[in-house]
Amino acid sequence: MPRPVKVVLGVVTTLAITFLGLLVVTFFIGRVVPIDPVLAAVGDHASASAYEKAKIELGLHLPLWQQFLLYVKNVAVGDFGESVLTANPVIEDIKRVFPATLELATMGTIFGVVLGVPMGVVAAVNKGRWQDQLVRVLGLLGYSVPVFWLGLVGLLLFYAKLDWVAGPGRLDIAYEYLVDPVTGMLLVDSLIAGEIDVFYNALSHIALPAIILGYFSLAYISRMTRSFMLEQLGQEYIITARVKGLSESRIIWRHALGNVMVPLVTVIALSYASLLEGSVLTEIVFAWPGLGQYITNSLLQADMNAVLGGTVVVGTVFISLNLLSDILYRLLDPRAK
């Protein structure tokens, strides 16, 4: 069998096993939590006959292994059932709310990369100096400060006191429904529609939550960049470049950082995935109508179809980004081939 075919088969097999493991975990979580999905569907005051009918319709009268096979079959075609909270198919709800989370996580990642990478480089070049200590302290704060506290303080200071940014939500009421949803991401859709006022209003709303969320990405990326750069700056090719008389800026930003970007791609991809799955508290604090808030509200209402559907989507995104980072790693580093 040709090597490329073996590689593809290996990747497909790994993805299939990983996704199956994700489905196993989500399925059994849905069965062990102390929530009766039948009662959630029919209500507490339903008759015994209505309860039994709903139980049969949901397939919960079947043996556990048959329920799992039915669950896998439905997920494979994008059927997560109906949401008790909205009475819509869960997949339709996810299509509606996920772009908001994607937009927020993307802006947060951009913020983390644009500032985190240079900060990590500066810290490595100035190891042990005040620049290095400052970056390390900022990174430590990023890991330590609770996101909900930081979000509340940010709202109090920059929205309530200084009025530098807009408040919770994605848009002011005056700008609602002025832009037709194409991608579901307001910044993109407003530019497509040519609504500049809507774009700036959406940007004002997303700025603070994206910075708050991106701060944690910045902490992780700057720390990893610093670690990678310290390793590269100690390599022989750096010494050779200095002996040849190359400028220090060229050595650092072109040669050392160029080699760092290979493993850094994986770090950025994992950071992006973490923001997608870890934006729950940020969305709650800023009333951001994304997937995190949708899952939280569904859990509070015992809407397990929505909770499990959202969990599967987040897990699938995480797996996909891991695969993408692995592919990019192989493309950027010929040794990985």
For the stretch 191-248, pLDDT in tens is: 998 889 999 999 999 999 999 988 988 999 999 999 999 888 888 888 888 888 888 8
In this structure, what token pair is assigned to residue 285? 């604090």
Q: Does any domain span residue 149?
A: yes
In this structure, what token pair is assigned to residue 45? 């005051």
Say how far apart CA 296 and CA 226 lie, in whole Å.
36
Compute CA distances 280 → 13, 101, 216, 275, whole Å. 31, 9, 14, 9
Say how far apart CA 326 and CA 305 lie, in whole Å.
32
Residues 49 and 158 in one domain: no
Partners of residue 89 on adjacent β-strands: 82
pLDDT of res. 3: 63
Q: Does any domain span residue 318?
A: no
Residues 261 and 169 in one domain: yes
In this structure, what token pair is assigned to residue 56? 């049969």
Cβ-Cβ contacts under 8 Å for 116 (sequence gap 6 or more)? 217, 218, 219, 220, 221, 222, 225
Residues 146 and 43 in one domain: no
Other Cβ atoms closer than 10 A to 134: 14
Q: Does any domain span residue 309?
A: no
Do the beta carbons of residue 170 and residue 206 sit within 8 Å? yes
Cβ-Cβ contacts under 8 Å for 197 (sequence gap 6 or more)? 175
Cβ-Cβ contacts under 8 Å for 255 (sequence gap 6 or more)? 237, 238, 241, 246
Residues 142 and 29 in one domain: no
Residues 129 and 204 in one domain: yes
pLDDT of res. 43: 66
| Over residues 278-288, mean pLDDT | 84
Least confident span in 106-110, 131-135, 146-150, 331-335 = 331-335
In this structure, what token pair is assigned to residue 280? 């729950």
Residues 27 and 175 in one domain: no
Residues 101 and 63 in one domain: no
Do the beta carbons of residue 103 and residue 321 sit within 8 Å? no
Residues 152 and 250 in one domain: yes
Residue pLDDT, tens place only, 105-140? 999 999 999 999 999 999 998 888 998 899 999 888
- Model pTM? 0.84
**60: domain range?**
3-76
Q: Does any domain span residue 179?
A: yes
Residue pLDDT, tens place only, 155-205? 899 988 888 888 888 888 888 888 888 888 989 999 998 889 999 999 999
Mean pLDDT of the chain: 83
Residues 146 and 270 in one domain: yes
Say how far apart CA 97 and CA 290 lie, in whole Å.
5
pLDDT of res. 200: 93
- SS3 annotation, the chain: CCHHHHHHHHHHHHHHHHHHHHHHHHHHHHHHCCCCHHHHHHCCCCCHHHHHHHHHHCCCCCCHHHHHHHHHHHHHCCCCCECCCCCCEHHHHHHHHHHHHHHHHHHHHHHHHHHHHHHHHHHHHCCCCHHHHHHHHHHHHHHHCCHHHHHHHHHHHHHHHCCCCCCCCCCCHHHCCCCCCCCCCHHHHHHHHCCHHHHHHHHHHHHHHHHHHHHHHHHHHHHHHHHHHHHHHCCHHHHHHHHCCCCHHHHHHHHHHHHHHHHHHHHHHHHHHHHHHCCHHHHHHCCCCCHHHHHHHHHHCCCHHHHHHHHHHHHHHHHHHHHHHHHHHHHHCHHHC
Residue 219 sits in a domain whose CATH number is 1.10.3720.10
Residues 72 and 118 in one domain: no
Q: Does any domain span residue 294?
A: no
Give the chain's domain count.
2
Residues 105 and 150 in one domain: yes
Residues 284 and 147 in one domain: yes
Q: Does any domain span residue 85?
A: no
Q: Does any domain span residue 311?
A: no
